[in-house]
Amino acid sequence: MSKKSSNRGASTGARSAKGKQAAATSKKGATSSAVGLSTSAKVVIVIFAVLMVVSLMMPTLSTAFSRNQQAEQSSSQDSSSDSNSDNSSDSSDSSTSDTSSATGAAAVDAKYQDTVSELESKLSSDNTNLATLLNLGRNYMRWGASVLSVSSSDSDTTHGNELLEKAIGYYQQYLGLKDSDAVRVDIALCKLYEGETSEAQSDLETLTQNSPTYAPAWANLGMVQEYAGDKDAAKTSYQTAIDNDPNDEYGAKSYATQRLSALESSSSTTSSTTSTGTSATSSSSGETGAKGLTDTLSNLSGTGL
């Protein structure tokens, strides 16, 4: 499922200095850990953000961006062929992972390694193939987010961040050949998964300024603002997403409507408990791993933080 060349030029320069070497990426992982994100906080970030991905960016990663991605993948017959092959590889790899006895980050690695190796082999023979670049970005993004969701050590966090950096790198290669608001949203989400909430929000704010009618950007911005605790700004962004996706073509309208309802419900509950002098607590739990996240996310569309 360019307008920001000068803005992204600076961002790409900074990203290049940070991500070209494994040592620099490891430092990023350590930094993410140093800011004090607990394991439960990382899971909240990943669950909340991947929910946005599931709601707005399926079927390859998103229904939200289906129109954009169909146009991108129909740019050539080769691109379409690559995309179909890549999806088949992903399905096959998923079946293999189900029978694996590996757990945690190792299980996630086993799910994605073969698929990514095959895609990178294809790219080596045609480094301008848009479909292959897009699928590499998506697979590395999902791989990194899943590793972070099951992270139990600093090394897992570093590994997850390295994978997300690779996703960003492939997405930027794609943008060098073809502009895409959907890809820019994915880059912002990668940053969110890494714990760089402010940078992700800044990227999405810039995107909404440059593409003010692109509903998925507004819906994702609302999600980031809600996570950051700015509920009033989130409500405004969600409403803008609804206004720009009246027929729910991207899935932004349905997602934003659910989040607005959840925020209103949360506000009502807070007012009620305050007036009666009582307090309410909420909790959420979910399985870990790629499959667990998918199963959990399907039941989270109406919940709040």
pLDDT band with cut points at 50, 70 and 90 for residue 190: very high
Q: What is the pLDDT of residues 198-216, one digit of tens each?
A: 999 999 999 999 999 999 9
Q: What is the pLDDT of residues 239-263, one digit of tens each?
A: 999 999 999 999 999 999 999 999 9
Q: Is residue 280 part of a domain?
A: no
Q: What is the pLDDT of residues 223-240, one digit of tens each?
A: 999 999 999 999 999 999
HSE-CB at 7 with a 13 A cutoff on CA atoms is 13
Q: Would the pLDDT of 291 be above 60?
A: no
Positive or negative, the CA dihedral 88, 89, 90, 91 is: positive
Q: Is residue 168 part of a domain?
A: yes
Q: Is residue 250 part of a domain?
A: yes
pLDDT band with cut points at 50, 70 and 90 for residue 266: confident
Q: Would the pLDDT of 106 be above 50?
A: yes
Q: Is residue 271 part of a domain?
A: yes
How much is the mean pLDDT over the chain? Answer: 72
Q: Residues with Cβ < 8 Å from 210, sequence gap 6 or more? A: 3, 4
Cα gap 153→170, rounded to integer Å = 26
- Give the rounded percent of residues in the chain with a pLDDT score beyond 90: 52
Check residue 102 and give its pLDDT. Answer: 79
CATH number of domain containing 120:
1.25.40.10
Residue 146: what are its φ and ψ, rounded to 5°?
-70, -40
As a whole number, mean pLDDT of residues 11-23 equals: 42
Q: Is residue 305 part of a domain?
A: no
Of the candidate ranges 36-45, 86-95, 115-124, the one whose mean pLDDT is the lowest: 86-95
Higher pLDDT, 197 or 14: 197
As a whole number, mean pLDDT of residues 138-167 equals: 96
Domain count, the chain: 1
Domain around 122: 5-275+285-297
